[in-house]
Chain A
């Protein structure tokens, strides 16, 4: 390959980084080597806590507060980043090494126009004058396929969409034509359909300028599209490294194989409900609005006992609003919510204790869904005490029983605070709290989207088991179609507050589709490294949801 004779740009040897917590230093990166040649893209993947971002920042000679580099060498284009002065490192950053953060919305300064922030780097490093930087920005915006490239830079960050902002940030990182860009999960916060645009734009521009890149992500399918080589990390250690095609086809280590296998989890589809069976929850012709802004238009769907209905759509499609209508947080303007055939009062305040008990909710962010000052005993015990009147021994028994159900050792966990749990364990507590009420129906609002894939799989399996054990009906709100494939019986696709398509899962995943459904389905990255090229080809020819893509 021609890449072999290109010189090495970044060389990291035996990198060790320590992090400070509770007054002691513990190692979070333990001896990682990286070789990156010019124009090459290295994918770093691993679960949260694997040290991906820390390594990415260390490649710029930078550590977050509370971290320090304790050993190893970092050499960028012949410059030893650990030995050189801070001033020298600063002159490299933004100039020859650039960084693209996960959340562009949080990383742009909301008080300045995009183009002024673009010009900041080049002007500071003396690469260009302000006027040159402006015209250069417009050129790059055009290459990033941003709409109205001549004008978009003069907007403020809140005036453009998330996907556009992420592209503007990538363009900004290119301003000084750096040799190396570090992408830290640049598409994680985006919808699948926008993710495609950003991925294509990033890949395009990296190729055009022959820039080397480190691409950090936890999504294997994404890294398969972007990287020439993949390095898998686990808790600060390197698991294995190989070029992308070999890695995908022939993972060597057990851990890598388990990562690869996650996406293959698929539960058995539940039998269809009988024709006469009354659905546990049915939403009938609901129209709802926040103040004067209409959010839901004539939405109807039904959820039967022991079945999981996945409600899919991009952010802003109204899927969470539908859940708020069911729980009574947002009384609808017209239409009804029926529970076992009987209409529920529109607002939760008018519902009886038993009606409230029957519909429980599990939240996306377990961090904000669990009161940080309550111990698990109270968190899980309260619904049981409140709804079922359990007290004393019976209550204690029930809490322990619930902890057993969610596979947490009661003696060890019962008196912990949420802050003493991992992300997956917190989500399990959220599940236990819902179960404690002994409901017939549970709304799962993006319950796995904040979790790592292995952990998320554990949660899905748990939910599946509990469903068959307690005959639960689930409404599963998600934007991740891989999750839908693994857990749903029926799918409801929503867009702009309307149900676009609804049906059983097998119907849903076989054509023909509504154009929007097709766009959604085709936008889910696959593990095939050629997937993005093929998809873009097909869209150029007018297939794979191209009609809906050009509309949005």
Chain B
């Protein structure tokens, strides 16, 4: 615990900023029903009302409160992105570590499969799969998780490759340790730093991908609030020089920058530890 506090204290201002922003997003998504002035799907006034005292950020194309939908959007977009990333990591790192540890034909099989999947551009592949399996939140999570797990697989395998040649792994093998113990106790703790850093980065990509899919109409379906579709729905306002439709885009950008600040700091620390 002390160690943790010491680490926190050594964080640079950029990382502090990043952690602060992430904390605000997390709080907003957890306490959305209490913070938001109106209900998520509630039509509260005329369409495209300008900013005033009641509707702090105006209303959208159906007359729903913009601020409310922004806050609920955090819950949906961030929550789903987190779930998707976690799933992608579970899948990618388990197969990656397995491929590196077992090697041989299993490694060949997994690596070649991943190569094939990675050869198809991610967004187009996602669109294709979603049209086949149908658009629902569960399907979207699974599709993006599978596509992104290929990237995680490559990283986990590369990192583990450098670890499995160490003498302590040989010592563990000679001791007669099983595969599970080898991976979880001997390899994983040493691969953690790059994987955690990758988690942050991957989270941003997944997040952007969900927003992109929503913008294209295949992601999170209305009336659920989501930042990507919010940009699309209110895009007409841009023609009138109103910045309101750019607010969800700004929210996406801010979170991406914040996560990257934190990731940068973690990567820096991870590389520093290796000295």
- Listed in ascending order, the chain A residues whose CB lies under 8 Å from chain B are 327-329, 348, 351, 353, 356, 361, 363, 365, 368-374, 382-383, 386-387, 433, 437
Contacts and interface: CB of A to CB of B under 8 A. Distances in A.
A374 B177 CA distance: 15
A374 B167 contact: no
Contacts of A369: 166-168, 171
Given A363-B167, A365-B167, A368-B167, A373 B177 contact: no
Contacts of B189: 371, 373-374
B165 to A, nearest CB: 9
A383 B177 CA distance: 10
Taking residues whose C-beta sits less than 8 angstroms from the other chain, chain B's interface range is 10 to 19
B174 interface: yes
A370 B166 CA distance: 9
24 contacts: A327-B174, A328-B174, A329-B170, A348-B173, A348-B176, A351-B176, A353-B176, A361-B171, A363-B167, A363-B171, A368-B167, A369-B167, A370-B168, A371-B168, A371-B172, A371-B186, A371-B189, A371-B190, A373-B190, A382-B175, A383-B175, A386-B175, A387-B175, A433-B171
Contacts of B174: 327-329, 348, 356, 361
A-B complex: 4 closest residue pairs judged by Cβ atoms:
A373-B189, A369-B167, A371-B168, A368-B167
Interface in B143-191: 166-168, 170-177, 185-186, 189-190
A386 B168 contact: no
A24 B26 CA distance: 37
Nearest to A434: B171
A379 to B, nearest CB: 9
Contacts of A382: 175
A348 B177 CA distance: 11
B186 to A, nearest CB: 6
B81 to A, nearest CB: 29
Contacts of B171: 361, 363, 369, 433
A552 to B, nearest CB: 29
Contact of A386 (B167, B177, B186): B177
Find the residue from B167, B172, B173, B185 having the highest chain A CB count within 10 A: B167
Given A369-B168, A371-B168, A356 B190 contact: no
A314 to B, nearest CB: 21
A368 B186 CA distance: 12
Find the residue from A328, A382, A383 having the highest chain B CB count within 10 A: A382
A257 to B, nearest CB: 36
Contacts of B170: 329
